[in-house]
Amino acid sequence: MTAKEGREVHALTIDYGQRHRKEIEAAKKVAKHFGVRSHKVLRIDLADIAGSALTDRNVRVPTQRTLEEMGRGIPVTYVPARNTIFLGLALAYGESIDADEIVIAANWQDSSGYPDCRPEFYQAFEEVARLGTKRGVEGRPIKIVTPLIAMTKADIVRKGEELGVPWRLTWSCYLGGEKACGVCDSCQLRLKGFKEAGVKDPLPYARRAQTL
């Protein structure tokens, strides 16, 4: 949600042992750009309990996959129960600062097929949030809000343009190179979105996938 809409925004970033620091640095810059009320970075070492190509440098992040290949099941970049943990932490933090909503930018429509990006997952978690907290018992449950869930990447780019998102400060690439790789699933889906929206992505890319 934007501060524009009259909401007081507190940002929470989870440093879960990602193989690179790029997205955490990007989160800090974007939070600062929009002047959020506070931005907290919470450290938890998921690499220790939940192996994934996103936390383990020994697992190769797939690149140059076609959209058809991406459509075939859950990729190795899946981190077990990652969004459940993120939401649990956000719920604890949200309740402690008396927040009314947890907003998470999960995207199902145009995603890599992560189960914890599905709308029904967020509906189920909202029920957990209602039943498992003091706020819920008091009849003021914290809502789980997923504004991007049903949008295509192109829709998201268009919405971002409308809201003045500073794309140059953002990071989507699964790898942590100086430039975005351009060929991992995340880069490809991002570039496809920009292309379809007719917007130029200002981020420098090391390569461009053959498939786009």
Please report, as ranges, the residues that interact with a copy of itself according to CB under 8 A. 12, 40, 42-46, 48-51, 74, 78-85, 87-89, 91-93, 95-96, 115-116, 118, 120-121, 124-125, 127-134, 136-137
Shortest gap between Cβ of 5 and a copy of itself (angstroms)?
A: 24
**Nearest distance in Å: CB 18, a copy of itself:** 14
Task: Give how far Cα 33 sits from Cα of 10, 68, 168, 172, Å.
Answer: 13, 36, 11, 17
Tokens of 137: 């018992």
Instruction: Dig out the tokens for 181 from the structure.
Output: 């790789």
Nearer to a copy of itself, 52 or 186 (CB): 52
Beta carbon nearer to a copy of itself, 45 or 69: 45
Nearer to a copy of itself among residue 74 and residue 163 (C-beta) = 74
Q: Provide the CA 20 distance to its chain's centre, in angstroms.
A: 15
Q: Indicate the residue among 41 and 163 with the shorter CB distance to a copy of itself.
A: 41
Min CB(164)–a copy of itself separation in Å: 29
The Cα 37–Cα 31 span in angstroms is 9
User: Closest separation between CB of residue 27 and a copy of itself, Å?
Assistant: 16
Residue bearing tokens 């907003």: 103
Provide the terminal-to-terminal Cα distance of the chain, rounded to the nearest Å.
31
CA separation for the pair 16, 23 (Å, rounded) = 11
Is 78 or 171 the residue whose CB approaches a copy of itself more closely? 78
